[in-house]
Amino acid sequence: MISLRVKKEIEDEFIWEIQMILYNLLVYKTNKKEIEYET
């Protein structure tokens, strides 16, 4: 049985990872659009 404190830390880490991935995708898409407009 994982203690609640450890479980919470794992969940926070997981949420953080997902947020970073989504943010990177968003930035990547926006940058791609801007590049397409310039050319």
3-state DSSP call for residue 2? coil
Residue that the structure tokens 């949420």 belong to: 15
Please give the backbone phi and psi of residue 3, each rounded to the nearest 5 degrees, phi first. -70, 155
pLDDT tens digits for the chain (39 residues)?
779 999 999 999 999 999 999 999 999 988 888 777 766
Domain borders along the chain are 1-39
Q: What is the pLDDT of residue 19?
A: 96
Q: What is the pLDDT of residue 39?
A: 62
Q: How far apart are CA 31 and CA 8, in angstroms?
A: 34
Tokens of 34: 């801007």
